[in-house]
Amino acid sequence: MLTGCGADQNIRKGDALYAIGEYFDAAAQYKKGYSRTSVKDKAKRGERAWKMAECYRRINYNAKAIGTYQNAIRYHYPDSMAVFYLAQMQHRQGDYKNALKNYQAFLDSVPGDQRAIIGMQGCMQAPIWKAKPTLYTVKKEPLFNSRRSDFSPVLYGDEWDQLFLSSTRPQASGSEMSGITGIKAGDLFLAKKDEKGKWQAPEQIESEVNSEYDEGACCFSPDGKTMYFTRCSHDPSYPRYAQIFTSQRSDASWGKPTLLEISRDTLSSYAHPAVSPDGNWLYFTSDMPGGLGGLDIWRIAITESGLGGVENLGEPINSAGDEMFPVFRPTGELYFSSNGHVGMGGLDLFRAEQDTTGTWTVENMRYPMNSPGDDFGITFEGLHNRGFFSTNRGDARGWDHIMSFECPEVLQTVKGWVYEKDGYELPEAVVYMVGNDGTNLKLSVKGDGSFEQVIQPNVDYILLGTCKGYLNHTEALRVDTSSVSQEYTLQFPLANISAPVLVRNVFYEFDSAELTPNSTQALDSLADLLQENPNITIELASHCDYRGADEYNERLSQRRAESVVNYLIEHGIKEDRLTPVGYGESRPKVVTRKIAEQNPFLQEGDTLTEAFILRIEDEAKQEVCNALNRRTEFRVLRTTYGLFEGLLKKEESEVEKQEEEKE
């Protein structure tokens, strides 16, 4: 009798722990209660085996779950789901033969159940996929892995040289073991490449992002300035619900996280954030009402005024099972993991593409990317078909580890840099890309002013670099079919509207205003810029150094400015858009940060007057200053040239029409 009372007490403790999601601790109590229950009391033995199995299933202790589900069935536990879950656990272990038998047994009692039908299809398909693997190769990455769970890697940085990951390794914050998993709560860690491009071991992020609670599955906004991550706090009295937090990047560190309120529903979980490549949508995993079953993938609009309404992605992405860990590639492809589609076992990786009508197509990534275990949390090295993912394949305890992957590919890409003429990168720039195949893209640039995009052979592309406060710049590109991968590079130097812009490599004959043949390329580029920006007028200025008489220098610089203007007129630029001015030596160059970096003896803000130059003892350095003063520049005067011409003509024609009607 005392044994029976002790067993009941263990079960009550287990039930309380199960109710708040502490499955590891609950399983320990159920195990004690089960062992204290008489073998003659078959009903209680079956029920307690079922409860224990449910805990093991939820923490991926698949082998233990199989044994306890078998015990529940042996003691005639009445819920037919015991047979279904037994089949599912055998499926996860790669025991396809017995899994098929038990899926069929479940279908005999619950005919037409789609979960069991899909499970059977997976068991039949998995050996075929394994016998004929895809071109992907996968490899263990011991540097990133510990003796605990390491998962959800995310590549970050302009050169993809940083790897964020979630880990429950001993270095994680807090000292208590999780009642859910029996190991420490997870933290976010960061691995970086050294100057030789070699990965270094992960280190815990020194930020308030990490806490005593569980943190994991992070992602970043397209500009890299906002981190979204999952946090699961714990309360001894309530179930655990995952929530999504954000953190802003300040210099080299991440700021204090704030809760992202997706919905007022506080009884649902929100996890596994992913931002769309255009930054307009936040995708996430949730069990909120209105889904197709289990965990679904949802999305919510990101606007300047806050978050919009929540949408369920629906079929064919979501299913009656669990869909989790959404991830985007820059190309717009969505990757996620699911146990509700035809797969090899636990969570399988799937690729989804959306056509022009908004319809999704979903494809299993197959073996070796998938396995009987859980495969999830994939990340790509930019546009390349290589990167990292997490899996618990081959781990008897169900702990996750990080693997790398790569697939041979022939990839044609364009990489460009948008920057200020004679200045620095413009991270606020936008590049518009159109092609005669229907391509019409708006590309944001990274922090270094760069962008990268896949291109197709035998397509004519036009790329327009833009940034507020700067003139536009256009580049054309066409590539032929190739059997090797190749990256094409383009430069987008944008001229500042509010500051003089140097026209490099404009040369004149000695003591003359006649242009040399070496000036042609620079002046043709200037003509192209004016054609690309048809609504601007400019002042074309020529400057001299201090040597020579002031009046002579002024006359010479005026003639030189006129020579450039005449060249531009001959090449199709209207005369009334051009104003030549010769300043002689009256406007010496002011040193910019770029010039100071190139000439360490100068400082930003120095004005290269005659007195300043003569104070420099080194004649070679004096000549550098004189050369900087001898320059041709242009300055934007107007940005509305011809802008209202069509409107004025229309108004004039309407007035004439009204007068004719009066007559």
Does the pLDDT value for residue 394 go beyond 50?
Answer: yes
Contact 354, 360 (CB under 8 A): yes
Q: Domain limits of the chain?
A: 2-131, 137-406, 412-494, 516-645
Does the pLDDT value for residue 626 go beyond 90?
Answer: yes
Q: pLDDT over 90 for what percent of the chain? A: 77
Does the pLDDT value for residue 307 go beyond 50?
Answer: yes
Average pLDDT for 608-614: 95
Average pLDDT for 304-327: 93
Average pLDDT for 125-136: 96
* The CATH classification of domain 2-131, taken from the options 3.40.1280.10, 1.25.40.10, 1.10.3720.10, 1.10.760.10: 1.25.40.10
Does the pLDDT value for residue 80 go beyond 60?
Answer: yes
In eight-state DSSP terms, residue 261 is -
Banded pLDDT at 1 (limits 50, 70, 90): very low
Does the pLDDT value for residue 646 go beyond 60?
Answer: no
For 588-604, the pLDDT digits (tens) are: 999 999 999 999 999 99
Residue 243: its H or E element:
strand 242-250
The token duo for 167 is: 């880990």
Average pLDDT for 103-107: 96
- The CA distances from residue 197 to 139, 144, 378, in Å, are 19, 15, 21
pLDDT, position 278: 87
The residue written with tokens 């005659």 in the block is 610
Q: How many angstroms separate the CA atoms of 506 and 515, rounded?
A: 8
CATH number of 137-406: 2.115.10.20
For 69-78, the pLDDT digits (tens) are: 999 999 999 9
Q: How many angstroms separate the CA atoms of 203 and 144, rounded?
A: 10
Contact 361, 348 (CB under 8 A): no
| 211 Cβ neighbours under 8 A, 6+ residues apart | 173, 174, 231
Does the pLDDT value for residue 524 go beyond 80?
Answer: yes
For 239-254, the pLDDT digits (tens) are: 668 999 999 998 778 9
Contact 452, 414 (CB under 8 A): yes
Alpha helices in 93-137 (DSSP H): 96-109, 114-131
The residue written with tokens 């569980």 in the block is 214
Banded pLDDT at 198 (limits 50, 70, 90): very high
Q: Which amino acid belongs to residue 175?
A: S
The residue written with tokens 């255009």 in the block is 278
Does the pLDDT value for residue 107 go beyond 80?
Answer: yes
Does the pLDDT value for residue 657 go beyond 90?
Answer: no
Superfamily (CATH) of domain 516-645: OmpA-like domain (3.30.1330.60)
Of the ranges 19-23, 166-170, 388-392, 616-620, which one carries the lowest mean pLDDT score?
Answer: 19-23
β-strand pairing of 360-364 with 375-380: unpaired
pLDDT, position 236: 61
CA 646 to chain centre: 43
pLDDT, position 184: 78
pTM over 0.95: no
pLDDT, position 405: 98
Does the pLDDT value for residue 568 go beyond 90?
Answer: yes
- The CA distances from residue 419 to 305, 446, 497, 526, 544, in Å, are 30, 12, 14, 17, 27
DSSP one-letter string for 494-535:
EPBSSS-EE--S--B-TTS-PBPGGGHHHHHHHHHHHHHSTT
Question: 412-494 adopts what CATH topology?
Answer: Immunoglobulin-like (2.60.40)
Give the chain's mean pLDDT.
Answer: 91
pLDDT, position 2: 46
pLDDT, position 489: 95
The token duo for 433 is: 């890309």
pLDDT, position 199: 97
Average pLDDT for 563-575: 95
